[in-house]
């Protein structure tokens, strides 16, 4: 019997005897689909199967559900604690295997004392590890946490921006333009760097093109350029218009459209 025939035979036996059990990720994806379809009982069963397969995300989903009032399950803090502990156990394994999402979840658990003893130092260690593995959220978190130290702030905010997180690009851009970060720690202004970062923020998220336009309109740190200002305001308008298909004064996007149009007379 050749190798292909042997593998096929084993596959048939697997199907006949066990149904070839799915992976944790497969159960997790099915659970999400059922949850979104409001098939909660089936979703919970699938989340449990994912968790039993070692999926920290499946365990975490169950922990969050049992920790809150919701339509899917009755709140049960004991079950929540059980699943948070399972989340921590499996996330630690995956974090050691350089899974950035696992490290991020561990950081959250240690920060809030969920399933583990509260330990802010350990939380920060996991956040930094997640950041170095490519988690823009963790980099942004650490940058703001360390904002009293400008060097650390710039290092981690720049990393978050390099992972294409527009909020981080805007924050570091404004820091270079104004000469201060959000904690009012000072550094030497660098207008070119500031514009470069804010331009990237604009490209990543067009709502921030309005910030770039404001700079060109003001003429405070750059030569006034109405052409560039209008171009960027229009990009921001297109973004907000996609979120405001029917006018609603409670819709923040609709309000921003009015602000831009009334302030700068753009039709």
Which of 165, 108, 111 minimizes the C-alpha distance to 136?
165
Domain boundaries, the chain: 210-267
pLDDT of amino acid 1: 52
C-alpha to C-alpha distance for 156 and 172, rounded to whole angstroms: 10
> 0.95 exceeded by the pTM?
no
Per-residue tens of pLDDT for the chain, all 267 residues:
555 554 445 444 444 444 457 898 999 999 999 999 999 999 999 999 999 999 999 999 999 999 999 999 999 999 999 999 999 999 999 999 999 999 999 999 999 999 999 999 999 999 999 999 999 999 999 999 999 999 999 999 999 999 999 999 999 999 999 999 999 999 999 999 999 999 999 999 999 999 999 999 888 888 999 899 999 999 999 999 999 988 888 899 999 998 888 766 644
Which of 147, 115, 142 minimizes the C-alpha distance to 127?
142
Neighbour-count burial for 42-69, b at 16+ CB within 10 Å, e otherwise: ebbebbbbbbebebbbbbbbbbebbbee
* Residue 180 phi, psi dihedral angles, 5° rounding: -145, 145
Region at 179 (left for phi over 0; alpha for psi -120 to 50; beta for the rest): left
């Amino acid at each position: 019997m050749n190798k292909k025939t042997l593998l096929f035979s084993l596959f048939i036996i697997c199907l006949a005897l066990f149904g070839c059990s799915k992976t944790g990720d497969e159960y997790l994806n099915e659970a999400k689909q059922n949850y979104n379809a409001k098939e909660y009982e089936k979703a919970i069963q699938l989340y449990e199967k994912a968790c039993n397969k070692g999926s920290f995300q499946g365990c975490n989903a169950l922990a969050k559900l049992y920790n809150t009032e919701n339509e899917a399950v009755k709140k049960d803090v004991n079950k929540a604690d059980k699943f948070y502990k399972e989340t921590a156990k499996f996330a630690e394994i995956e974090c050691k295997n350089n899974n950035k999402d696992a490290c991020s979840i561990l950081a959250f658990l240690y920060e809030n004392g969920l399933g583990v003893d509260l330990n802010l130092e350990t939380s920060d260690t996991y956040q930094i590890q997640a950041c170095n593995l490519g988690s823009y959220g963790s980099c942004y978190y650490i940058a703001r946490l360390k904002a009293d130290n400008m060097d650390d702030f710039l290092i981690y905010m720049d990393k978050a921006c390099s992972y294409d997180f527009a909020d981080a690009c805007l924050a570091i851009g404004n820091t270079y333009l104004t000469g201060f970060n959000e904690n009012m720690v000072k550094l030497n202004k660098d207008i070119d760097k500031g514009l470069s970062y804010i331009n990237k923020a604009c490209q990543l998220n067009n709502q921030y093109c309005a910030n770039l336009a404001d700079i060109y309109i003001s003429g405070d740190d750059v030569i006034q350029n109405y052409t560039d200002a209008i171009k960027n305001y229009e990009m921001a308008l297109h973004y907000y218009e996609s979120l405001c298909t029917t006018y609603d004064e409670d819709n923040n996007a609709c309000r921003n459209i009015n602000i831009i149009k009334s302030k700068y007379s753009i039709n």
